Amino acid sequence: MLLNYIKIAWKVLLRHPFYTFITLFGISLTLTVLMVLTSFLDHLIGSHYPETKRDRSLYIMQMQLNDSSRTSRQSGPMSFKFLTDYAKSLKTPERVTICTLINSSNAYVGSQKIKLNTKFTDADFWRVADFEFLEGKPYNEQTIASGENVAVITDDLKKHYFENSSESVLGKDIEIETIHYKVIGVVKGSPVTRPFTYADVYFPYTAPKSNYQRNDMRGGYVAIILAKNESDRKEIQDEFQSHIDRIPFPGVQDGFKYATLEVKSEPYLENFMGPLLDGNAGLKTIFFGVIAFILFMLMGLPAINLVNVNISRIMERASEIGIRKAFGAPIRTLMWQFIVENIFITLIGGVIALILTVIVIHLINTSGWIAYADLTININVFLISLFVSLIFGLLSGVLPALRMSKLNIAEALRG
């Protein structure tokens, strides 16, 4: 029976090329947008190069200090010392790395200025993040302890800074902000959308201008905690919170008298969403309102249009429906036939959308809009897209099928 429904759907597609084009165009366009959006979200929050261990990582990005009345507050990254005392000292994790977010510097090639994004890190940074070293190796604890001015650069900076990018640059000098560094490694760069690992140049935290010596709590550093297993993250969060709870209150930070301190170790997505979700209710409402509006525009309007197209397509077959009803075809059978037909057509649109998505993703990855962009259609993106295709086909077929089921035989035969 299912095969017969599919054969009928195929015949209908061939019989009405205009409706077929309109239907497949709407389905393909909608699903292409959804697949690209899904791929982009996966690019943002999934475990990808060089943060391939996000599924067992926790992130500490900012602390928040509140006064006694909670009417004023300070928030931002922490000092190297604070993270050393309260994160690096944890016993449960496999490893903890401390690094800065993205800093800005300049370098010059002749008279040409190169704007650089730089990052100060400890040695564990290279063990938590899985960078691909194209040349050389990272700095280690011994290099840091000796206070050497060394740097790891990306392959992109190598092309822009050195005249002959085909030769090895290990041991060569690179001058940044009038300070000379010896290049000891070249890595494949991290996408700009991964602020914990993205940079053009990586320095040991003991390099000049790192400000790692600050003794107060605030600073420019963040941390990534790598658990031995994903299931260990709750235990790590509890241990980290127990360390934070030892901090005496009230206190003074840069002249600000604080009565409470909030700092959390959270999974990647929650780390960025947390400050927003903990904010005021109005901002939260606006944020989710915008998300709901975007989703409605992406799915709701195309779905409504597609329902209208399906109704027209099915009602155009009213005489066929009337004849089948006259010969005793039950309404449930007719409904299932049109729903199966719609899902079949939607899956065809899904295949076209998959091809279009591959093309769009390739264009995004090669356009340079996102440095080192690596959008892909992996198994998660594919399964989510397939699920959405089936739901989309089911939902857009139910209403036309219900409309068709209400036709009486005389009305249907009149067409």
SS3 readout for the chain:
CHHHHHHHHHHHHHHCHHHHHHHHHHHHHHHHHHHHHHHHHHHHHCCECCECCHHHEEEECCEEEECCCCCCEEEECECHHHHHHHCCCCCCCCEEEEEECCEEEEEEECCEEEEEEEEEECCCHHHHCCCCEEEECCCCHHHHHCCCCEEEEEHHHHHHHCCCCCCCCCCCEEEECCEEEEEEEEECCCCCCCCCCCCCEEEECCCCCCCCCCCCCECCEEEEEECCCHHHHHHHHHHHHHHHCCCCCCEEECCEEECEEEECCECHHHHHHHHHHCCCHHHHHHHHHHHHHHHHHHHHHHHHHHHHHHHHHHHCCHHHHHHHHHCCCCHHHHHHHHHHHHHHHHHHHHHHHHHHHHHHHHHHHHHCCCCCCCCCCCHHHHHHHHHHHHHHHHHHHHHHHHHHHCCCHHHHHHC
Distance CA 385, CA 353 (A): 10
Band of residue 392 on the pLDDT scale cut at 50, 70, 90: low
Give 349's Cβ-side CA count (13 Å radius).
30
- For the beta carbon of residue 141, count every other beta carbon within 10 angstroms: 11
Which of the pair, 186 or 74, is modelled with greater confidence? 186
Which pLDDT value is given to residue 212? Answer: 94
Instruction: Name beta bridge partners: 225.
Output: 58, 96
Q: State the average pLDDT over residues 124-141.
A: 97
Which pLDDT value is given to residue 275? Answer: 64
Which pLDDT value is given to residue 325? Answer: 73
Indicate whether 232 pLDDT > 80: yes
For the stretch 115-124, pLDDT in tens is 999 999 999 9
pLDDT above 70 covers a percentage of the chain that reads 85
- Widest distance between CA atoms in the chain: 93
Which of 37-41, 57-61, 216-220 bottoms out in mean pLDDT, i.e. has the lowest? 37-41
Task: Output the average pLDDT for the chain.
Answer: 85
Band of residue 327 on the pLDDT scale cut at 50, 70, 90: confident
Distance CA 287, CA 278 (A): 12
Which pLDDT value is given to residue 380? Answer: 74
Per-domain residue ranges for the chain? 1-47+284-413, 57-266
Which pLDDT value is given to residue 155? Answer: 95
Which pLDDT value is given to residue 313? Answer: 67
Which of the pair, 275 or 106, is modelled with greater confidence? 106
Which pLDDT value is given to residue 156? Answer: 94
- Report yes or no: 227 and 58 within 8 Å, Cβ to Cβ: yes
Query: Among candidates 285, 259, 264, which has minimal Cα distance to 275?
Result: 264
Query: Among candidates 267, 195, 194, 196, which has minimal Cα distance to 227?
Result: 267
Band of residue 18 on the pLDDT scale cut at 50, 70, 90: confident
For the stretch 137-179, pLDDT in tens is 999 999 999 999 999 999 999 999 998 878 999 999 999 999 9
Which of the pair, 335 or 187, is modelled with greater confidence? 187
Which pLDDT value is given to residue 298? Answer: 66
Which residues contact residue 272 at a Cβ distance below 8 angstroms, ignoring those fewer than 6 apart?
61
Query: Among candidates 41, 182, 185, 178, which has minimal Cα distance to 125?
Result: 185
Query: Among candidates 388, 409, 391, 398, which has minimal Cα distance to 311?
Result: 398
As given in the structure block, the two tokens for residue 397 are 């077929």
Which pLDDT value is given to residue 235? Answer: 97
Which residues contact residue 375 at a Cβ distance below 8 angstroms, ignoring those fewer than 6 apart?
36, 39, 40, 42, 43, 361, 364, 365
Band of residue 279 on the pLDDT scale cut at 50, 70, 90: low
Which pLDDT value is given to residue 296? Answer: 67
Which pLDDT value is given to residue 210? Answer: 93
Q: State the average pLDDT over residues 182-203.
A: 96
Q: Is the pTM of this model over 0.85?
A: no
For the stretch 351-390, pLDDT in tens is 898 899 999 999 999 988 888 888 888 777 777 767 776 7
For the stretch 55-79, pLDDT in tens is 999 999 999 998 888 788 888 999 9
Q: State the average pLDDT over residues 39-59.
A: 93
- Report yes or no: 315 and 409 within 8 Å, Cβ to Cβ: no
Which of the pair, 305 or 167, is modelled with greater confidence? 167
Which of 148-162, 229-243, 255-269, 296-310 bottoms out in mean pLDDT, i.e. has the lowest? 296-310
Q: State the average pLDDT over residues 244-253.
A: 89
Distance CA 119, CA 101 (A): 6
Which pLDDT value is given to residue 31? Answer: 78
Indicate whether 22 pLDDT > 60: yes
Which pLDDT value is given to residue 277? Answer: 60
Please name the residue that has the structure tokens 């065809």. Answer: 348
Instruction: Name beta bridge partners: 152.
Output: 185, 202
Indicate whether 284 pLDDT > 90: no
Band of residue 180 on the pLDDT scale cut at 50, 70, 90: very high
Give 368's Cβ-side CA count (13 Å radius).
1
Q: State the average pLDDT over residues 177-199.
A: 95
For the stretch 79-118, pLDDT in tens is 999 999 999 999 999 999 999 999 999 999 888 899 999 9
Band of residue 393 on the pLDDT scale cut at 50, 70, 90: low
Which pLDDT value is given to residue 184? Answer: 97
